[in-house]
Amino acid sequence: MVRTKMRVAMYYNNRDIRLEEIPTPRIGPGELLVKVLASGICGSDVMEWYRIKKAPRVLGHEIAGQIVEVGEGVKNYKVGDRVFVSHHVPCNTCHYCLNGNHTVCDTLRTTNFDPGGFSEYIRVPKINVDRGTFILPEEVSFEEGVFIEPLACVLRGQRLAKLKPAQSVFVIGSGISGILHVALARASGAGRVMASDINEYRLKSARQFGADEALSGEEVSSERIRRINHGRLADLVIVCAGSLHAYRQALECVDRGGTVLCFGLLPPGIDISFPFFDFWNDGIILLPTYGGAPIDIVQAIELIRAHRLPLAEMITHRFSLSETGIGFNLVAEARDSMKVIIEPQR
């Protein structure tokens, strides 16, 4: 029996996460109620400039759980099913979706589950049930299910960048997104894989999960990349740090005909200037990427099922719902943590 009230971690700001009690969502026809068993803290959750304008709210979008109630008319799911639920889902019928640009779909940008993953239960709206709920394979644990959403984002980025086997990759910023990019590039047959960060703990993690070389921020230069990469700059530079300096380094370190994948987000109002003639003359591609499309979610699940990536080893901290604030502090500090998971049923 599901209680009428549930606990949530309510976000006010990065330093103020409160354990509160709110009514457990009631589902309607076509909807699901899911017990959240694992919920990851994303780097975007601690981007205060982005989150605080909608506070107070319950955050959390990297979730895995179990269905405890099924609404009238739901045919493909039953109580007890282990699931991953996507918070944003596309319409699949608009101009953007039909042209393969699902992550700029208006529907995707306005859909969500209720209230957020840092809670004991979520209500899954009908549209999310229809195209955003995926059965977890038996080989995938709830903790590994937390990686489905961030891995889908990484998969989409490398898919759009058309990374080919034996091409060189340089990842700037070795937080969890950067580490996933490193691990995926290595698993996909990339040639030289390089990474950088300003934190020694993260540099050690980059080496652990597949980087041939991990450079501190001060060591990054075109000359250093050439020395590491057999005289050439990087075919693909992936920016996973939200700083202008990181983007300047990327433009310095990308090879002719190469691609800079813009994965890290800068706040609105910040403009980047660069030498246009060199950009034009060298055939550089600047490629933004956001989110994951449904195909990327399916591929992420299959990669995790096959244990192609050492995801469990990337988990550094597990906290109860009442300890969510500690987890936020760790992620915001960006020092001695990698993947931080909240277990709402504890």
Pick from 188, 151, 153: nearest CA to 265: 153
8 A C-beta contact, residue 188 and residue 163: yes
| Greatest extent of the chain over all pairs of C-alpha atoms, in Å | 66
Helix (H, G, I), strand (E, B) or coil at 111: coil
Residue 133: per-residue pLDDT: 98
pLDDT, one tens digit per residue, over 20-39 is 999 999 999 999 999 999 99
Average pLDDT, integer, range 125-150: 98
Rounded CA separation 81/136 (Å)? 8
* pTM (whole model) above 0.75: yes
Residue 324: per-residue pLDDT: 98
Residue 272: per-residue pLDDT: 87
Percent of the chain as helix, strand, coil, to the nearest 5: 35, 25, 40
Residue 219: per-residue pLDDT: 96
Write the DSSP assignment of 48-91 as a string of letters.
HHHHGGG-SB----EEEEEEEEE-TT--S--TT-EEEE-SS---
8 A C-beta contact, residue 281 and residue 262: no
pLDDT, one tens digit per residue, over 289-342 is 999 999 999 999 999 999 999 999 999 999 999 999 999 999 999 999 999 999
Domains with residue ranges and CATH for the chain: 5-147+311-343 (3.90.180.10), 152-288 (3.40.50.720)
Angle 176-187/148-161 helices, nearest 10 degrees? 60
Average pLDDT, integer, range 227-241: 97
Q: pLDDT confidence of 274, banded at 50, 70, 90? A: confident
pLDDT, one tens digit per residue, over 148-167 is 999 999 999 999 999 999 99
Average pLDDT, integer, range 182-193: 97
Structure tokens at 90: 């596309």
Of the chain, the end-to-end C-alpha distance in Å amounts to 17
Residue 1: per-residue pLDDT: 80
Name beta bridge partners: 176: none
Residue 247: per-residue pLDDT: 96
* Residues ≥6 apart with Cβ < 8 Å to 254: 170, 233, 234, 235, 236, 237, 260, 284
Average pLDDT, integer, range 93-116: 97
Rounded CA separation 339/103 (Å)? 24
pLDDT, one tens digit per residue, over 174-186 is 999 999 999 999 9
